[in-house]
Each structure stands twice: as structure tokens, then as C-alpha cells.
Amino acid sequence: MSDGSSFYVTTPIFYVNDVPHIGHAYTEVAADVLARWHRQSGDDTWFLTGTDEHGQKILRTATANGMEPREWADRLVDSAWKPLLKTVDISNDDFIRTTDERHETAVTRFLQKLYDDGHVYAGEYEGYYCVGCEEYKQRDELDEPLSGEYQGQLVCKIHSRPVEILKEKNYFFRMSAFEGKLLDLYESQPDFVQPESVRNEIIQFVRQGLSDLSISRSSFDWGIKVPWDPTHVVYVWFDALLNYTTAVGYGTDQELFDRRWPAYHLVGKDIARFHAVIWPAMLMAAGVEVPHKVFGHGWLLVGGEKMSKSKLTGIAPSQITDTFGSDAFRYYFMRAISFGQDGSFSWEDLSARYQAELANGFGNLASRVIAMLQRYFDGEVPAAGDPGESDLHVQQTVAEATKDADAAMQRFAIHDALAAIWRVVDELNGYITEQEPWALAKDEGNRARLQTVLYTAAEGLRALAVLLSPVVPQATAKLWAALGASDALGELTAQPLRDAGRWGQLPAGIRVEALEALFPRIDQAAA
Ligand code: MSP
């Protein structure tokens, strides 16, 4: 992942049976931060997201709403899933729907190839199926409640709803043949599945032995037709996983595919198995390189449980952004939760961090420095004199934070990257408190020192704007404009991130403009 190399990042494609909640927005934001970071580092970046529209779950939801599945999917994509991207400021390069023709054509080609190469056979499937998960289940993945609505029935542990018993003639993918190769993959590429907790779980799962996978259904027809037997449709997960390749030219544009592939996949840990077991096995069978990485992030918990619509704990992203704004949404979830671990959401924590870190820590710093430049230098960034120890310390902090943040982003440790960048916020706040520019301003004899102090603060803000722009793009764009940096240095998003720590980029003599509060006080009643 050096400069100019390919960085292709994906989110799971979301089911259109329901509207998004903050758990879905969380994955989008994480992928977006990584994509913006890499784009701004000069990497050949591509960010894909989209929707998963086939299968029984969508079919049933559409039918229950008196609509055709395609019509239902169109409605949800336009009214809920695409708007989500605006709500949290997502900079995706493409949006794939599994009902797109480009996808359907390439899935058909992929499957035909597996069939021609002997990886698929006809058989009989008999077992449990959870429509909520769209997954075949083993007995140990089910509960038998002792009371309540489903007493005595077998229910899925994830959805707490009864599973169905399937007995169908299906086509099977010889996944069991890839057991050894998968174990070799996890061994030889230890960061293929991350974090470690998810990697260990996957290895344990595969070590217990893999069965073949039923990859077609014949009891309904909402799906992509199996090319050699149109009485079957492709199993929804087999269809869905392929989106990552069909969106970048698999089976249709080899040159594009070679440029983008392999990908970095961000997924919730609940669907890591599909991505780290079934998906690489499918690719191996087709002779396609496996992804660079499958990163299984944790869950957002509400009241200690995975937040979900089906359990009525879903919170709509706009409930947060309407009050706090999209930057605060992005910052909060990336900072408060170690990426890879579960995290509890609470309004109190969100409010507290908004006030302490964004409004007081960063926002105030920016407003104060700009206001002092206006007051003491008539809005012009002064030239700095020779730096003393404290000024050099600021420079060093900025350089180290840039290096540490980049290293953390390469590991997908977004929270660590933010913590590194925040050292600059804290350093600058401490520097201003110590240097007391307002006291220096009282004595003309301290003018040279005042110049150095305010240049140092302004240049520190320049670096902060660049480093934080992937996380809080709106606030940093305002700060960039107020610093007068656009004319002098060009667009904020064109500033090379890995160069952000190089001191002295902001030229003396540029004019700053008044800056409105980046993170205004929230009316407590609204929050
Ligand atoms: N359609 C499949 C994915 C196919 S990818 C080839 C799917 N869709 S989903 O809409 O149900 O879920 C999408 C993602 O949202 C999953 O990664 C899931 O983990 C994530 N989340 C759902 N609830 C979540 C939380 N409460 N917290 C964090 N992520 C959550 O699965």
C-alpha cells in the first residue's frame, strides 16, 4: 500500500427489506474514512457500496407490502439507502445493486465457469434455513425457547424467529475441497482475516470441517437464474458476494478488474464467515485471487444487545445527524469505538464527546486562533521568527502524529489514528494557554514573539485540517477556507495526507476570514 497503489474498499451490500439504522451507517463511515484517507494519500482508490436485493427475505417483505420485489427494491434504494449516503457524507465511487444487469451477467458467467470446471453438482438439501440470515443452519446454531410465542420451536439464535425446514433438490458447490487451501491461506497471510478474534473464530470453524454449500433454490424465483437449469435461482449469498468483483469488471472488463482487484472488505463480524470462508473458496475455484483482507468490525450495542430493527432497537442515522450534524456522527463512532470491537451507543456519551472534543477541543481552538489573527494582525498570517523549544515541540508533535495516524490507518485502526491526530489538538491548546498570546499582544516589544506563536498555531491548524478532513470533511473545509489556504495551497482534498506533517506549508501574508463555530452549542432540549 505505498503511494499510487490500488486501494479498493467495500462495504457489505445491504438488504433492502428495511430502512438503515446506525449500525449500517457505521460500516459506511468506516469505509468512507479509509477511502478518503487513501484517496488523499494519492492511492488509486475505489470505494464500492450497494444493495442486496434478491432472495426470500426481500421477496416476502415485498409481497407483504403488496408489491413486486423489483418495485419494492427500487423504492427502498431511492427512499432509504441512497439517501443514507448523503446523511453521513459518504464519498462512494460506485453503488451496485444485485439487480443491475452488469451484475447478473457476470454472476451467470462465474457460475457457468464453476459448473464447467466440475465444482458444482446436483444433490438434495435437507435441513434448517433462517430467512432472516438467509443462511442454512446447524442444530447448534438454534435455540428451543421454553416459553413465549415460539415455545417448543427451533429458532435462530440471531433473529429469535423460527427456522424453516427445507427439503429441496439443489445445486451444490464443492466447498469441502477447499478446506486445506483455506487453512493455508489463514496461516500464510495472517492479516487476511482481522481482527485476531475474528481470525481465530474462522480458523476454528474451518478446522471442524467444511461441508459443501447449497447454491441454488427452486421453491421461489426471485433471483438470478442458474444458467444450465432455469428452474433454479442462485442462492442469495452466492449472488451477493460476487458484487465485489462484478462491480469492477469481472467477466466484462478484464483490464479494469486487474486494476482494482483484490479488495479490502469491511464487514460486520456476524457475516465474517461468509466473507472469509465461502468467498475465498468461490474465488479459488474460479482461479481468481482472494481479497487482500476481510475486516470484521464489532457491533453497535444498545442496552448490551446488538442493535437491530427486528429487535426494535434500531436508531435512524438522521436522529443523530439532525441534531449533531454528519461530521459529529462520523467523528463520534470512529473515535469512541475501537474499530474491530463492539461498542455501546449512548446519547450521553455522544453529547459529552461532542462538547468536550469537537466543540471545546477542536472548534474553539480554530475560532480562537483565527480571531487572534484578526485582532492582532488585521487578518494576515504573520511570518514566524526562529523557533524556540516550545515551537519546535509543536512541529515535532505534528510530524509524529501524521506518521502515527497513517500507520494506524494502514492497520484499519481508525480510533488510534484519531487519537494520534488529537495529540495535535491537545498540544496546540496547551501551547496557546502557555504562550498567552493575549498577554504578548499588550507589549509592542513582544511583537516578534507574538508573530511566531500565531504562525505556529495557524500552521498547526493547517495540518489539522488536512489530517482530519477524511473524518470531518465539512468542518475542515470551513476551516481551510477561513485560513485562506485554498488560494495559497489549493483544494483541501488535494493536500497529500502523508505530507501533512511537513512544517511551514502555510505561507505568511495570506488573509484569514472569520470562522463561524465549527461545532455550535447544542440546545439541550433538542439533544
Ligand atoms: N446483505 C448482507 C450482506 C451481503 S454482503 C455480500 C447483509 N446485509 S445487512 O443489511 O443485514 O447487514 C449489513 C451489515 O450491517 C452487516 O455487516 C452487519 O454486520 C451490519 N450491521 C447490522 N447491525 C449492526 C450493528 N448493530 N452494529 C454494527 N453493524 C451492524 O448482511
CA nearest neighbour of 8 among 332, 313, 262, 253: 262
CA nearest neighbour of 48 among 237, 262, 199: 262
Mean pLDDT of 235-261: 97
Residue-wise pLDDT for 372-395, tens only, equals 999 999 999 999 999 999 999 999
* Burial class of residue 153, CB neighbours in 10 A (0-12, 13-18, 19+): middle
Mean pLDDT of 511-517: 95
Residue 184 pLDDT > 80? yes
Nearest CA owner, ligand 1 atom 22: 23
How many whole angstroms from 347 Cα to the centroid of ligand 1? 22
pLDDT, position 383: 98
How many whole angstroms from 269 Cα to the centroid of ligand 1? 9
Q: How far apart are CA 55 and CA 73, in angstroms?
A: 12
Mean pLDDT of 210-235: 97
- Domain definitions of the chain by residue range: 347-526
Pick from 67-81, 136-150, 214-228: least confident: 136-150
pLDDT, position 313: 76
Q: Which residue has 445493486 as its cell numbers?
A: 97
* Burial class of residue 190, CB neighbours in 10 A (0-12, 13-18, 19+): exposed
Mean pLDDT of 213-218: 96
Q: How far apart are CA 13 and CA 433, in angstroms?
A: 48
How many whole angstroms from 14 Cα to the centroid of ligand 1? 7
Nearest CA owner, ligand 1 atom 8: 14
CB 5 within 8 A of CB 27: no
The structural architecture, per CATH, of the domain 347-526 is: Orthogonal Bundle (1.10)
* Burial class of residue 476, CB neighbours in 10 A (0-12, 13-18, 19+): buried
How many whole angstroms from 149 Cα to the centroid of ligand 1? 26
pTM over 0.85? The answer is yes
CA nearest neighbour of 467 among 83, 42, 175, 36: 36
Residue 14 alpha carbon, nearest atom of ligand 1: 10
Residue 307 alpha carbon, nearest atom of ligand 1: 26
Candidate of 271, 275, 277, 344 to mutate for ligand 1, largest count of ligand atoms within 8 Å of Cβ? 271
pLDDT band at 1 (very low <50, low <70, confident <90, very high): very low
Nearest CA owner, ligand 1 atom 25: 23
Q: How far apart are CA 172 and CA 194, in angstroms?
A: 28
The neighbouring-strand residues paired with 295 are: 194, 266
Catalytic residues: 21, 24, 130, 133, 156, 159, 306, 309
Number of CB atoms found within 10 A of residue 356's CB: 10
How many whole angstroms from 15 Cα to the centroid of ligand 1? 8
The percentage of residues in the chain with a pLDDT greater than 90, rounded to a whole number, is 93
Ligand 1 contacts (CB < 6 A) are: 12-15, 23-24, 26-27, 52, 240-241, 267-268, 270-271, 299-300, 306-308
